[in-house]
Amino acid sequence: MTPAQTALIATLRPLLGERGIVTDPALIAPWEIDWRKRFQGHAPAILAPADRAQVQAILRAATEHGVPLVPQGGNSSMVGGATPPADGSALILSTRRMNRVRRIDADGRTAVAEAGVILADLHGAAEAQGMRFPLTLGARGNATVGGLVSTNAGGTQVLRFGTMRGLTLGVEAVLPDGTIHDGLSALKKDNRGYDLGQMLIGAEGTLGIVTAATLRLVPAIAASATAWVGLADPAAGLALLRRLQAATDMIESFEIMPAESLAAAVAHLPGARSPLAGAHPWHVLIEAVTGDPAIDPAGMLETLLGQALADGVAADAVIAASKAQAEAFWLLRHSLSDAERALGPAVQHDIAVPVDAMPRFMVEAAAACDSRFPGTHASGFGHLGDGNIHFHVRAAPDTDRDHFYAEQAATITRFVHDLVMAAGGTISAEHGIGQMKRDELARLSPERVATLRAIKTALDPHGLFNPGKLVACA
């Protein structure tokens, strides 16, 4: 521990107490590495404030002592965004004790949740009031509200409800100078200059600490229907999506995958089988949901998919006959990443291009990649309606794992990212920049990064907030 860190902890101990300061290395260790074990950091202590006032006190003292802080919620970042630097220069500021759902307002359709509330718990709290928080993702058992806001998280329901930016009505935060941004009252109109709440959404903790958020709720699910459709190509998938969206606002998920990804998932999961009897080059999983008990989403899907089959837009389709069958469909989708990983080393890319450009991009980018890196194999699956796919490039058979990651992965990634930029897309659709994509962002968008750095430096002149993430500061 540096002298400054020792002094900071001595200053804070009377306020935070024993529960608020963790220095036992065994207790710290799980939080020093990201969950995919890609980034190993080190922090001499975890500060765990119980409320906003304690966060404010920590920030003021950290500024005074010049000690950097790494905010951390569920530690489920995909880009090393919550992992401390390896040199031990920063302390972790954990939001997990600030875990109260302060309010569920079913009439006003809002929730106020503290930063440390785990997404699954927020789902439960909303359901207990007959409401739903309509964002979910694989890490729902770990990801926290503060991290979801700070990374503008996405997931499988963005198609209908948007990302966290669309679901976050107000933000409460402590800014680097120790002042409170109290934006929880969620005014429907408020034009007092730059929208600081919007600035904090997706800022990855580099501009201060989000302590709570006002979130949008929707009525609880009254009925849902899950369908599996076989298709000729991604263009047919987009055509089908446009048809469905023109006819109904119930479509929440529209997940596309190639036959090979489905085959990998079927092979990976014991007892699993493809939902459709025949072979199709592409597949989509569709979920339609309503909060109105008078509406029948399965009947709606049956009619619309029947028309799509008759018109040749879809090749085959089945609607899950039971909740168990629907869950089996989803299990296939959620197993795609694990199944592909089991096939060997691969490099993944969380990318987006404009929705209309995605069908072509999926096919052409994979072909370009295969051609440029002989022996490797590229494919993508994901959220077609958001223009967002997870684009994987698998190493050539028998490639040494370490060699692939050390020598080839970065070259492949730069190639993929160049394709994405040429298509007017983004190298980070859902996961943020963190430390993993920081230098790639600077390479591809130097002017953008200069603007980000100017803002960062203006608000955090000493570079104490999540150092090394998003933008490199002097």
Q: Please select the residue that binds a copy of itself; options are 7, 459, 472, 473, rule is CB under 8 A.
A: 459
458 lies in the binding site for a copy of itself (CB under 8 A): yes
The distance of closest approach from Cβ of residue 388 to a copy of itself in the complex, given in angstroms and rounded to an integer, is: 5
The distance of closest approach from Cβ of residue 127 to a copy of itself in the complex, given in angstroms and rounded to an integer, is: 19
252 lies in the binding site for a copy of itself (CB under 8 A): no
Place of tokens 């007959």: 130
138 lies in the binding site for a copy of itself (CB under 8 A): no
Q: Please select the residue that binds a copy of itself; options are 113, 201, 213, 339, rule is CB under 8 A.
A: 201
190 lies in the binding site for a copy of itself (CB under 8 A): yes
253 lies in the binding site for a copy of itself (CB under 8 A): no
Residues 159-188 that bind a copy of itself (CB under 8 A): 163, 165, 175, 177, 179-181, 185-188
- Which stretch in 282-290, 312-320, 361-369, 422-430 sits in contact with a copy of itself by CB under 8 A? 422-430
Cα 363 from Cα 233, distance rounded (Å): 9
Count of other CB atoms within 10 angstroms of residue 72:
28
Longest dimension (CA), the chain: 73
387 lies in the binding site for a copy of itself (CB under 8 A): yes
Residues 429-448 that bind a copy of itself (CB under 8 A): 429-433, 441, 445, 447-448
Q: Which is nearer to a copy of itself, 195 or 364 (CB)?
A: 195
Residues 338-357 that bind a copy of itself (CB under 8 A): 352-356
The distance of closest approach from Cβ of residue 197 to a copy of itself in the complex, given in angstroms and rounded to an integer, is: 9
The distance of closest approach from Cβ of residue 281 to a copy of itself in the complex, given in angstroms and rounded to an integer, is: 24
307 lies in the binding site for a copy of itself (CB under 8 A): no
- Which stretch in 255-263, 276-284, 410-418, 421-429 sits in contact with a copy of itself by CB under 8 A? 421-429
The distance of closest approach from Cβ of residue 290 to a copy of itself in the complex, given in angstroms and rounded to an integer, is: 13
Cα 341 from Cα 347, distance rounded (Å): 9
Cα 25 from Cα 43, distance rounded (Å): 9
Cα-based distances in Å from 55 to 44, 103, 153: 18, 21, 23
Cα 34 from Cα 63, distance rounded (Å): 26
Q: Which is nearer to a copy of itself, 132 or 181 (CB)?
A: 181
Cα 271 from Cα 281, distance rounded (Å): 22
The distance of closest approach from Cβ of residue 72 to a copy of itself in the complex, given in angstroms and rounded to an integer, is: 18
Torsion-angle region of residue 323: left (phi > 0), alpha (psi -120 to 50) or beta?
Answer: alpha
- Which stretch in 90-98, 300-308, 324-332, 426-434 sits in contact with a copy of itself by CB under 8 A? 426-434
Q: Please select the residue that binds a copy of itself; options are 12, 203, 289, 378, rule is CB under 8 A.
A: 203
Q: Which is nearer to a copy of itself, 1 or 218 (CB)?
A: 218
**Is residue 383 within 8 Å of residue 135, measured between CB atoms?**
no
11 lies in the binding site for a copy of itself (CB under 8 A): no
Cα 120 from Cα 459, distance rounded (Å): 33
Q: Which is nearer to a copy of itself, 184 or 320 (CB)?
A: 184
293 lies in the binding site for a copy of itself (CB under 8 A): no
The distance of closest approach from Cβ of residue 180 to a copy of itself in the complex, given in angstroms and rounded to an integer, is: 8
Q: Please select the residue that binds a copy of itself; options are 57, 366, 452, 464, rule is CB under 8 A.
A: 452
Strands of the sheet containing 377-383, edge to edge, are: 316-319, 223-231, 282-290, 251-258, 377-383, 388-394, 346-352
- The count of chain residues that interact with a copy of itself, using the rule CB under 8 A, is 68
Give the pairing of strands 46-47 and 21-22: antiparallel
- Which stretch in 3-11, 19-27, 42-50, 382-390 sits in contact with a copy of itself by CB under 8 A? 382-390
Cα 14 from Cα 9, distance rounded (Å): 9
Chain residues in the site for a copy of itself (CB under 8 A): 107-108, 151-152, 154, 158, 163, 165, 175, 177, 179-181, 185-196, 198-199, 201-204, 207, 242, 352-356, 383, 385-388, 424-433, 441, 445, 447-452, 454-455, 457-459, 470-471
